[in-house]
Structure 1
Amino acid sequence: LARVAEAAHLARAEGLPAPWYVIGSEVPIPGGAHAALTSEHAEGGAVTTVESVRQTLDATRAAFRRQGVEDAWARVVAVVVQPGVEFGDDFVLDYQPEKARELALFIEGTGLVYEAHSTDYQTRAALKHLVRDHFALLKVGPALTFAFREAVFALAMMEGEMFPRAARSNLSEVLDAVMVRHPEHWRKYYHGTAEEQAFKRKFSLSDRARYYWGEAAVQAALARLLMNLRGPLPLALLSQFAPVQGEKVRAGVLQNTPENLILDRVGAVLQDYFEATTP
C-alpha cells in the first residue's frame, strides 16, 4: 500500500506534500465490543504489549525496504495499538494509565506516537491522560452519532408534548420500523429477547442506528420534526429534555432552533477531544 501511495504521489501530486503513514493492524471490532466483553470485566480491556509493537515496527520497516520505499519510513508518524479502552451496548471500559505504562514509555524513544481506537465515551480526563501517554491520535465515531441520536430523540419528545400524534413526525417509531425491516446492520450485534433488542436499537452505545439515518423514510421523519419545531422551543421543554442547551439559550450563546440544539449536543463530544488534544 505504501508503494502504491508513493508511486501515486510521484506521478500525480505535483506541489503537494508527500503522504504520511499510520501503521499497525490492532484494530478492534467496529462499533464496540461484542457481548462476550461485558461491564463485569472490571480488569479493563486488552493492552497491546511492547513486544507486539516492536515486532510491528520491525516487520513493517522490513516490508518498506523490500518494496523499495524505505525513504518513506521517515514519514511514518504513528502505530495503531490497543490502550485498554473499549465500549459495548451498555458499558465503557475507562482508560487505566497504570496498565499502559510500559507501552507509553516504549514509544518515547521512537519518534512516533500511538493511534488509539474505541476512545468513544471516555471522559475528558481520560482522553487527556491518553494524549499525555502518547496516544495522540484518538479514533471516535459512535459517540458522535449517539450524541446526534440523543439530541434528535430529545426534540422528538418535545414534539410529542406540542403536537397531536397525527401531526408529529413519530421519528423514533419510524427509525425503529426501518431498522426492523432492514436488520442487516444490527442483527449480529444486538442479542437477547425481543424486548432487549428493541431497547438496544434505540439506546445501545454501539449505536447501530447510525446506519439508518440516510434511509428515505427516516430522512422524511427528521425533516418533518425540524419543520414542526421551527419556531423557538419553549424554555420549559428545553429545561426538561435538553437542559444543557436550554441554559445556553437563556445565556444568549445558543440560538433557539432545533438544528442548533443538535449541533451543540454533538459539539460537546467534539469539545472533549479538542480539550484533550490542545496543549
Structure 2
Amino acid sequence: MNTSTLTSLRSRRDRGETYGITSVCSAHPDVIRAALILGRDIDQPVLIEATCNQVNQDGGYTSMTPAKFRTFVEEIAGSVGFNTEGLILGGDHLGPNPWKHLSAADAMAKAKEMVAAYASAGFSKLHLDCSMGCVGEPEALDDELVARRAAQLAAVAEDNSSFSPVYIVGTEVPVPGGASHAVDDLDVTDPAAARRTYDVHSKSFAEHGLEAAFQRVIGLVVQPGVEFGNANVVAYRPDQARNLSQSLTDMPNVVFEAHSTDYQTAEALSSLVGGGFAILKVGPGLTFALREALYGLDLIASELDGEAPMLKQTMENIMTGDRNHWAKYYSGTSSQQRLQRHFSYSDRIRYYWSQPAARQAVEVVRTRIGNRSIPETLISQYLAPLTAKVRSGDVVANFDGIKLAYVQATLRDYAKACGH
C-alpha cells in the first residue's frame, strides 16, 4: 500500500505547509463507507486503522483477522468506487495488551504473531506499543524495556511485510479502550519525555540491526492535552502544548500522532495540525455521530408512519442483556447508567451495532422510511445540523443519504484541519 502521504508529513511541515491526515479508527461499515466516499469526493487518501483488541490473529472482538479486515474494507471501497491505491491500513497499539494476563514471554509471543499477521496482510502503518506490563510486571514499564520490545516487533514486521511499512512509537494515557471516568485536566507530554522516547527507540532499533526500519518511524504518540470522558471533553489549548510542538525540531522525520481527538472543535483540530500533531485519530466520535443519525431517523420514521419509535428501546434491551462492553465504564445510579449507555462520549454502544438484533432494528427504521424523501421540516426538527445541506441539495434527504452525511460532517472538520 502507498505510504507516500505518511512519509511526506514531516517534509511538508518543514516546508511550512499545514497538512495532516485523519486516522479513522472504526470497524463499523457505515463509518468506513462514509470515510471512503468522502475520500473519493475530495480525491484524498483514506487511513483506516484497527486496534489490537479489535482485529488480531485470533479474530479480536470483531471476529476478523487482519487479512479479513483488509478484505472487508476493500469490498466497501469497491462498492463506493474508491480507488484502493489511496487506501492506507494501519494497526493501532500493536503489542501484548490483549494478552497482558499472561507472562511477558507468552504475551510477547502472541504479539509477534499479531504483528506478523498485520504485516503479511499488507497493513502499512504499524503502531508498536509495548508500554503495558504483563503478569508479574509493573503496570507501566521503563522506557528501555518498552523500546526493546517494540524493536522485537519491528523485526517481525520487517520479516513478514512484502514492502517497507512505516512505524509509530510511543503511547498515551489512557490505554486502548478510552477513559472510564470523568476527565477534568491532562498533563501535556513533557518535551524531554518525548525526546527520550525517540532516543531510546532509535538506540534499541539500532541494537537489533534495524537502523533502516527506524528511518521509517514517522510518528510519535504523545499527549497534547486532549481527551474525553463520559460527559465532558478536555479542549486542546495550544499554549500548553507549544513547547512540545517546538521539540519536533530535534527529532528528524517524525510528526506527532494525537489520540482521542474526538469531539474537539474544528478550530482545535486545525490548531493541532498546525502544532505538528499531523496524525489525528478519531473513532468513538464517528460512531457517536452515527448513533445520533440513527436515533434521529427513528424519530423521523415515527412522524412519517405514526408508529412509536423503537430503535433506542431495542438497543437498551440489547445492552442490558449484555453488560460486557459498558459495565466497568459507566457508574452512578441506574438512571445515570441508562443515560450513559446511549449518550456517553465514550460511546460504548458502538460495540453492539453489529449484533443481529441491532442490525435488524436499523433495517426496520430503513424500511419504515422507505424510498421517500424526508421532509425538510423533519430534518430541521430531528437532525438540524444537516438542514442547510439538504436545502441546498448537497445531501440527499433519504435514509442512506442522511446517515452517511451526518458522519461525514465530523469527517469534513478533520479533512479541513488536515488541509484537504
- Equivalence for 1:191: 331
2:170 to 24, 27, 30: 24
Query: 2:276 and 2:249 mapped to 1: Cα distance?
Result: 8
Q: Secondary structure at the match of 1:247?
A: helix
- Equivalence for 2:221: 80
CA deviations 1:92-128 (Å, max 9, x no partner) are: 0000111111111111232211001110000011011
Would you say 1:6 and 2:148 are equivalent positions? no
Query: 1:153 and 1:97 mapped to 2: Cα distance?
Result: 35
Give the CA deviation at 1:31. 4.6
- Equivalence for 1:136: 278
Identity among equivalent positions (%) equals: 41
CA contact (8 A) 1:31 1:208 kept: no
Q: Give the AA of the match of 1:104.
A: S
1:60 to 181, 186, 201: 201
CA contact (8 A) 1:114 1:137 kept: yes
TM-score after normalising by structure 1: 0.91
Q: Give the AA of the match of 1:4.
A: V
- Equivalence for 1:217: 357
Query: 1:119 and 1:31 mapped to 2: Cα distance?
Result: 14
Would you say 1:150 and 2:296 are equivalent positions? no
Range 62-71 or range 130-139, more displaced? 62-71
CA contact (8 A) 1:90 1:204 kept: yes
CA contact (8 A) 1:169 1:221 kept: no
Query: 1:244 and 1:195 mapped to 2: Cα distance?
Result: 28
Q: Secondary structure at the match of 1:79?
A: strand
Give the CA deviation at 1:250. 2.1
1:50 to 176, 185, 191: 191
Residues 84-123 of structure 1 aligned to structure 2 (within 5 Å): 84-111=225-252, 112-123=254-265
- Equivalence for 2:304: 162
CA contact (8 A) 2:256 2:278 kept: yes
TM-score after normalising by structure 2: 0.61
- Equivalence for 2:147: none
CA contact (8 A) 1:169 1:224 kept: no
2:179 to 4, 10, 33: 33
Give the CA deviation at 1:34. 2.4
Task: Calculate the aligned-residue CA RMSD, in Å.
Answer: 1.5
CA contact (8 A) 2:198 2:251 kept: no
Q: 1:205 to 1:31 in 2, by over 3 A?
A: farther
CA contact (8 A) 1:31 1:142 kept: no
Structure 2 unpaired stretches of 5+ = 1-152
Query: 1:247 and 1:227 mapped to 2: Cα distance?
Result: 25
Give the CA deviation at 1:266. 0.2
CA deviations 1:151-185 (Å, max 9, x no partner) are: 000011112223344xx561110011000000100
- Equivalence for 2:344: 204
CA deviations 1:32-88 (Å, max 9, x no partner) are: 4222x44xx3xx322111121122112111211121111211111111101110101
Would you say 1:180 and 2:180 are equivalent positions? no
Q: Secondary structure at the match of 1:135?
A: coil
CA contact (8 A) 1:28 1:118 kept: no
Q: Give the AA of the match of 1:25.
A: T
Q: Which has the larger radius of gyration?
A: 1
Query: 2:171 and 2:385 mapped to 1: Cα distance?
Result: 39
Q: Give the AA of the match of 2:180.
A: H
Query: 1:158 and 1:29 mapped to 2: Cα distance?
Result: 38
Query: 2:225 and 2:313 mapped to 1: Cα distance?
Result: 36
Q: Give the AA of the match of 1:275.
A: K
CA contact (8 A) 2:195 2:247 kept: no
Range 259-268 or range 70-79, more displaced? 70-79
Query: 2:400 and 2:314 mapped to 1: Cα distance?
Result: 20
- Equivalence for 2:414: 273
Structure 1 unpaired stretches of 5+ = none
Query: 2:368 and 2:332 mapped to 1: Cα distance?
Result: 36
Q: Secondary structure at the match of 2:282?
A: coil
Range 153-162 or range 111-120, more displaced? 153-162
Q: Give the AA of the match of 2:166.
A: W
Aligned residue pairs total 266
Give the CA deviation at 1:27. 4.7
Give the CA deviation at 1:275. 0.5
CA deviations 1:245-273 (Å, max 9, x no partner) are: 23322222211211110111100110011
Residues 221-260 of structure 1 aligned to structure 2 (within 5 Å): 221-230=361-370, 231-260=372-401
Range 155-164 or range 257-266, more displaced? 155-164
Q: Secondary structure at the match of 2:221?
A: strand
CA contact (8 A) 2:180 2:328 kept: no
CA contact (8 A) 1:80 1:114 kept: yes
